[in-house]
Structure 1
Amino acid sequence: MSRHLQDLLADSAQRFADRPALVGADETMTYADLDGAVNRVAHVVLGHGLTPGARVAVLAEKAPWTIAALIGTLRAGGAYVPVDPAGPASRVARIVGAAEPEIVLVDAASRALLDEVLAELPGRPPLVGALDEQEGVAFGREDLFLAPTASPGVAPVDLAHLLFTSGSTGVPKGVMITHDTVLAFVDWALRHFGTRPGDRVSGHPPLHFDLSTFDIYATLAAGAELHLVPAALGIDPRGTAAFIRDRALTQWFSVPSVLTYLARFDAVAQDDFPALERLLWCGEVLPTPVLAHWMRRLPHVRFTNLYGPTEATIASSWFDVPEVPPDETVPVPIGRACDGEELRVLDEDMAPVPAGEVGELWIGGAGLSPGYWRDPEKTVAAFVPDADGERLYRTGDLARVDDAGVVHFLGRVDSQVKSRGYRIELGEIEAALATVPGIRECAVVGIDTGGFEGTTICGAYSVAEGHVLPATDVRRRLTELVPKYMVPARWAEMEDLPHNVNGKIDRPALRERFAPAPATTAATGGR
């Protein structure tokens, strides 16, 4: 029997009708409430003429009814496109224009933004539904209908949603995610983490970020509670800690910068969060000293590093950290492939490299996206068959496999630079810099300044509360960890490093920060 993502909610609604499913800032939906809201959304979009497989753009803040809109679109046989309501109108217009949705669903807070977006789009604007009761096509809480029959022809291998990520050309690229790729990860995650009915799970990432896909569907499949974390807590570390504590969360999942931020402000007390059972992170490297800080504070919690690009659906590998790292200068591995996934470390000819040697990381298996929305050229370049015809995704990440078969992430292929005649991995410098006592967060970027020296290496960092670290001291400490030719020539101490909408360090912004200044071989500080 075929399965779709919307079936996860339908099954749990039958078993756990009166239990909380979604907990927002001022509204809680039981499984029965959510199932009814999803039916209502499905009937409304079908009533507006949604055709099988068509896209529905959802421009709304993270809230219970927004999630109902996502799942309701699936139940109606469509595919949803979550759009960042905090994004600039020009970028939102590019995404909506590229997705060509038949319907746009919007909440009251995003109506002004949508008006700007529609003004920028050529031709006839799409139909607009509303997620608030002041609109003519409002999704009210009454008159909930029986579930509609799924549109014919929508199969598990068909599109469930489009997630737009940053493109190297500046144009967002749409990654196609299907029902079966999400289900493969959810099935593995439920087995691995043992999520059970009544668990209280964080919903921290924005809905246009793929980590939220795991939060939503794994939680609903388990009959657990998804507690939506308000976006405002992103700049309030003590408020975030209070949220975890007050909601008695059993699982927290976020990008590493959130964990770093809480550590910086010492927001987590010894043996804090007694209900918390597991803490997961994904998206970028968590500095080992930050992880050690958390593990010492929360000895009762299980810590797991997840790794994987959007193109491979949520995550492709896992590593459960067995103990507080004895050497905080050693990065945490990305571990082993999830069930149904495959990690390969290959050379330039797509041949496996021996254990211990560095190669490029490729991913195969159940999580692979069909490719990029209406961009066959990018799809062919990124998704390549091996000699046996198996389709693989080229991550652009460098890695090595140790003798035990555990995979270690070593940085980006495009983070390899040539400076003063040396080939240098910026990720190696960054990993070493993260171990300097007092460093809260750091990043290393390369700036092409021309001339015989090649790329100028630049380091940016922020300082943990209670520490004073001028750039000259940081430089001196780093020379104890890496060769002198790898020490950044230019430095910037910042109160906070720039982050993109997904909470990751914004490296293009850092490169812009360094680009105007002339190259120098002397350490300089600045804000």
Structure 2
Amino acid sequence: MITVLDWLESTAAKFADNIMCADAKKQITYADFVKNAQAIGSFLCKYEKMRQPVAVFMDNSVEAWEAMLGVVYSGNFYVVIDALMPIERIKNIFTTLRPVAVIVDEKCQKQAAKLGLGQDVYDYEQIVQTSPDADKLQAVREKMIDADPIYALFTSGSTGVPKGTVLTHLSVMKYTQWYAETFHIDENTVFGSQTPFYFSMSVSTMFSTIYTGAKLVVIPKQLFSFPVKLIEFMNEARINTIYWVPSAMNMIANFKALDEHRLPFLKTVLFAGEAMPTKQLNYWRRHLSADTLYANLFGPTETTDIAAYYIIDRDFRDDEPIPIGHACRNCDVFVLKEDDTLAGADEEGELCVRGSFLASGYYDNPEKTGEVFVQNPLNTHYRDMIYKTGDLVKYNDRGELVYITRKDFQIKHQGYRIELGEIETAVSAVSRVYECACIYDLERKLIIIYCSGQNLTSKDILLGVRDRLPKYMLPNKMFFLENMPHNANGKIDKKMLQKIYENEMQK
């Protein structure tokens, strides 16, 4: 197999009439999915271009996925654009990207017009009617190689300008094989998809579906505000595998929705994207069947999705962090100190990754690419590129990697170097805390904690963490919200918390 398209066609030949994907409005078989993707690809072949970006400006849906693979059939790579992003951010992405074409659905047409994206904006409903042109598609395939890009995902940049991470067929295929084999994904798997298609976690579910013949069910976003309805939906769809951000899992745990409602079909629970609070994970473990597999996955978009993972194999206290474990197969991870030497036992350092999972770099951004995709300092003899993740980790006494914090979440307070993630872990274990996040007021030298929960007071927090944190790490200010803000990916939105705090200080 050379490309993901070979996988798709091979799987479709085996499971032609099986449902490949379902959303709230429609479902589609493997055979019809391939037909529609080839129709879109045939339309885009009119550009006679290859390895160029095509934007997919559509809601999470069956149609959006068809459009994404349609772009790939044309020999180009797709970039999914979130229609709910601020207009200025979308404009920044398009300024960098300069896509040769944009595919929209009916819902996003008006917004695309407001953005002034030019003439090459096409309605999915029209171009999917194109008759597949086997000769054109074959001519494109003969020129494709596994090092060609398949997509670019735009993530936030430290300068405020989004970065477009470019991934190849080879990286996606090597990663997907590991993911599917490790978590026993096959034609009997029914994914409950929580993450949007512009988020790297969706890569795991989408491409392992293509690889194995699984079924992907797009869970309506609004259900994540109604835990009982969410559980009912999952049972009706017979979902047996989820790969969610912890905030989505926390919602079910915080409402104790599993006390009276069961998930009998669910056998695989995977999570990534942010630290999983152990208290909420323990709730899930108490309420699902004993043979359920749980795993903590860890990695950035720049490693396709994941570089390290830990299958939960023992009990953890509520205030004990879950390890991120060990490297995925065919992926090398190691920990470098600031002097570019290997960290020893219980020494902190930056997690670095090498191997075929790595992205090609950032689209049209050689400067940023050169900062983090660098020559392996442990090898000076030949080209050996690594990705420096910016994540601080260390090995525990079991030889497992433990996440500490982002380098930019580390602060200096009262002369001490402090990881904000450690404070969050301690606070999240306090009784009646649903979610929490820590920020730092550099100007006033204050540690700030934001919490949501049940009838919480500052006294509850301080009493709850006094045996877990030294005095210099105790929060200086505590704020309580009915609900924590979340970004489009479902993670706690720390930038929004920073704005809330700044507004509070201006009063």
The TM-score by the shorter chain falls in which range? Answer: over 0.9
Corresponding residue for residue 84 of structure 2:
86
SS at match of 1:496: coil
- TM-score between both structures, scaled by the size of structure 2: 0.95
- Please tell me the residue identity of whatever aligns with 2:416: Y
Corresponding residue for residue 15 of structure 1:
14
Matched, 1:443 2:437: yes
Q: Deviations over 1:466-488 (max 9, x none)?
A: x3211222122222210111011
Instruction: Give the Å deviation of 1:69.
Output: 0.7
- Please tell me the residue identity of whatever aligns with 1:128: V
Q: Deviations over 1:325-363 (max 9, x none)?
A: 2x2211100011101111111111211111122112111
Give yes or no for contact 1:372–1:378 (8 Å, CA) kept in 2.
yes
Q: Among residues 285, 310, 319, which one is paired with 1:319 in the alignment?
A: 310
Q: Whole-Å Cα distance in 2 between the matches of residues 348 and 144 of structure 1? A: 54
Residues 305-344 of structure 1 aligned to structure 2 (within 5 Å): 305-325=296-316, 327-344=317-334
SS at match of 1:18: coil
Residues 210-249 of structure 1 aligned to structure 2 (within 5 Å): 210-249=200-239
Q: Whole-Å Cα distance in 1 between the matches of residues 210 and 53 of structure 2? A: 23
Q: Among residues 96, 99, 102, which one is paired with 2:97 in the alignment?
A: 99
Instruction: Give the Å deviation of 1:143.
Output: 4.5
Q: Whole-Å Cα distance in 1 between the matches of residues 471 and 343 of structure 2? A: 29
Matched, 1:139 2:128: yes
Q: Whole-Å Cα distance in 2 between the matches of residues 196 and 517 of structure 1? A: 51
Q: Whole-Å Cα distance in 1 between the matches of residues 72 and 230 of structure 2? A: 32
- Please tell me the residue identity of whatever aligns with 1:30: T
Corresponding residue for residue 469 of structure 1:
456
Q: Deviations over 1:345-383 (max 9, x none)?
A: 111121111112211211111211111111111111111
Matched, 1:3 2:2: yes
Corresponding residue for residue 130 of structure 1:
123
Instruction: Give the Å deviation of 1:390.
Output: 2.1
- TM-score between both structures, scaled by the size of structure 1: 0.91
Residues 303-382 of structure 1 aligned to structure 2 (within 5 Å): 303-325=294-316, 327-382=317-372
Q: Percent identity?
A: 30
How many correspondences in the alignment? 500
Corresponding residue for residue 302 of structure 1:
293
Instruction: Give the Å deviation of 1:14.
Output: 0.8
Unaligned residue ranges in structure 1 (runs of 5+): 520-525
Q: Whole-Å Cα distance in 1 between the matches of residues 344 and 89 of structure 2? A: 43
Q: Whole-Å Cα distance in 1 between the matches of residues 330 and 504 of structure 2? A: 48
SS at match of 1:191: helix
Corresponding residue for residue 185 of structure 2:
195
SS at match of 1:57: strand
Give yes or no for contact 1:263–1:294 (8 Å, CA) kept in 2.
yes
Instruction: Give the Å deviation of 1:50.
Output: 4.5
- Please tell me the residue identity of whatever aligns with 1:296: R
Corresponding residue for residue 410 of structure 2:
416
Unaligned residue ranges in structure 2 (runs of 5+): none
Q: Among residues 399, 407, 412, which one is paired with 2:401 in the alignment?
A: 407
Q: Whole-Å Cα distance in 2 between the matches of residues 499 and 243 of structure 1? A: 22
SS at match of 1:195: coil
- Please tell me the residue identity of whatever aligns with 1:391: M
Q: Whole-Å Cα distance in 2 between the matches of residues 234 and 46 of structure 1? A: 39
Superposed CA RMSD in Å reads: 1.8
Q: Among residues 45, 59, 77, which one is paired with 1:61 in the alignment?
A: 59
Matched, 1:478 2:465: yes
Q: Whole-Å Cα distance in 2 between the matches of residues 164 and 292 of structure 1? A: 33
Q: Whole-Å Cα distance in 1 between the matches of residues 95 and 7 of structure 2? A: 31
Corresponding residue for residue 36 of structure 1:
35
Corresponding residue for residue 495 of structure 2:
508
Corresponding residue for residue 522 of structure 1:
none
Corresponding residue for residue 278 of structure 1:
268
- Please tell me the residue identity of whatever aligns with 1:287: P
Q: Among residues 388, 393, 399, which one is paired with 2:387 in the alignment?
A: 393
Q: Whole-Å Cα distance in 2 between the matches of residues 27 and 236 of structure 1? A: 22
Give yes or no for contact 1:65–1:131 (8 Å, CA) kept in 2.
yes
Give yes or no for contact 1:415–1:426 (8 Å, CA) kept in 2.
yes
Q: Whole-Å Cα distance in 1 between the matches of residues 497 and 242 of structure 2? A: 29
Instruction: Give the Å deviation of 1:405.
Output: 2.7
Give yes or no for contact 1:62–1:206 (8 Å, CA) kept in 2.
yes
Q: 1:138 to 1:518 in 2, by over 3 A?
A: closer
Q: Whole-Å Cα distance in 2 between the matches of residues 289 and 404 of structure 1? A: 21
* Structure with more helix by fraction: 2
- Please tell me the residue identity of whatever aligns with 2:93: I
Residues 198-209 of structure 1 aligned to structure 2 (within 5 Å): 198-209=188-199
Instruction: Give the Å deviation of 1:498.
Output: 1.4
